[in-house]
Amino acid sequence: MNRLAFSILVILTAIMATSSLAHAAGGDYRRGLEKSQVCQSCHGRTGNESLQPSYPRLAGQHEDYLVHALKSYRDGSRQNAVMAGFAGNLSDQDIADLAAWYSRQEGLQDLDVE
């Protein structure tokens, strides 16, 4: 029984350490707010007020999706001339920070359509 308890303790400790490292490598939403100044001209302060209907609303999107999208614009695997220009200058940390900010904003609620 002691051996089983020790094994469980080791496994739980490893899981918690891995989770902490993953969180530490993530973005800082406060820095994301500061870095989002340029983004706000098209997507609005919180990511809900897009300038054009064709511009996506960023608020409430999954953080990992936002990271993937911005990295794809940066490396050219996702095509959009405007976004490629902005994302091309972003570091991995910039992208993580922006994703942290926009993912923590409240997205629009579903509308009842009759």
Give the tens place of pLDDT for each residue, 47-63. Answer: 998 889 899 999 999 99
State residue 19's pLDDT score. Answer: 45
The average pLDDT across 74-100 equals 96
90 occurs within a structural domain = yes
22 occurs within a structural domain = no
State residue 51's pLDDT score. Answer: 85
48 occurs within a structural domain = yes
113 occurs within a structural domain = no
pLDDT at 65 over 60: yes
CA gap 73, 30 in Å, rounded: 23
Q: How confident is the model at residue 97 (pLDDT cuts 50, 70, 90)?
A: very high
Provide the CATH number for the domain around residue 43: 1.10.760.10
7 occurs within a structural domain = no
Give the total number of structural domains in the chain.
Answer: 1
**What would you report as the CA-atom Rg of the chain, rounded to the nearest whole angstrom?**
19
54 occurs within a structural domain = yes
Q: Which domain holds residue 56?
A: 28-103
More confident residue, 7 or 90: 90
13 occurs within a structural domain = no
